[in-house]
Amino acid sequence: MSVDPEKIGIIAGSGQFPLLFIEAAQKAGRKTILIAHCNETSDDVANAADEVCWVKLGQLGKLIKFFHSKGVGETVFVGAITKTRIFRDILPDLKGMTLWNKIDAKQDDAILRAVAGVLEAEGIQVLESTCYLK
């Protein structure tokens, strides 16, 4: 995978934080490559990004393939995912299901750490979500 240092991946949930992050990253000269979650991420957020891929919860393989195809080497998690959807609306692909089955404690922080670990192993560094908001 060839990494484009101008691009930053954004894994977005709901709320205003994803939009604020996109605006700040674009002001810093970064091209924003968005993973938008169906039934969570707003159209306003999706429309603000330079490129977007819509995924369902658990489609980790699709997310990684999209980031690799766009040359994304850095990403952030921004916004919320409704907790009940994590258990009700999850439709994992093979990579997502493999990870899901490895997570013992299905709590927010454990899930995020596990996803971050997979992303890092795939060559995608996970940054602090406040990196452009300081």
Could you tell me the domains of the chain? 7-126 (3.40.50.20)
Q: Residue 75: enclosing H or E segment and its boundaries?
A: strand 74-78
The count of other CB atoms within 10 Å of the CB of residue 126 is 18
Please give the mean pLDDT across all residues of the chain: 94
pTM, to two decimals: 0.94
pLDDT tier, 83 (very low <50, low <70, confident <90, very high otherwise): confident
What are the distances in angstroms from CA 30 to CA 22, 39, 50, 121?
Answer: 9, 26, 10, 23
**Residue 85 · residue 19 · CB < 8 Å:** no
pLDDT digits (tens, 9 = 90+) for 36-80: 999 999 999 999 999 999 999 999 999 999 999 999 999 999 999
